[in-house]
Structure 1
Amino acid sequence: MQRISEFFRGVVREMKKVSWPKKKELTSYTITVLTTIVFMAVFFAVIDLGISKLIRLILE
């Protein structure tokens, strides 16, 4: 039990050292991540569509 409580005390000490992002930074990071996800989804959808059409042309 002593080791578990010491572990959590260490976790609390380390979490106090963490530099948390401000609201403006967090908003900027969130927009960047969502934009990247949308771009990648559209990119792979277009690639998938192109490959599918190419395969259909080859097999017909």
Structure 2
Amino acid sequence: MIKFLKNVGKEMKKVSWPKGKELTNYTIVVVTTVVFFAIFFFIVDQLISLGLNLL
């Protein structure tokens, strides 16, 4: 277990972490995508509910 954790520490030092501006851009993309899909599935759900209520 100790050897594994030491290896994890070594590998984490090799990781290229995003800079502040990149992180902000990635966050905006993720939030925008989540909001888009939430609205899309809300509309689809409403249309399916409307269609089922008409039957």
Report the TM-score, using the length of structure 1 for normalisation: 0.88
Q: 2:4 — aligned with what?
A: 7
Counting aligned pairs with the same residue, the percent is 55
Structure 1 Cα separation of the partners of residues 54 and 24 of structure 2: 45
- Structure 1: segments with no counterpart, 5+ residues: none
Which portions of structure 1, spanning 4 or more consecutive aligned residues, are displaced by more than 3 angstroms? none
Report the TM-score, using the length of structure 2 for normalisation: 0.95
Instruction: Count the aligned residue pairs.
Output: 55
CA RMSD of aligned residues (A): 0.6
Bigger Rg, which one:
1
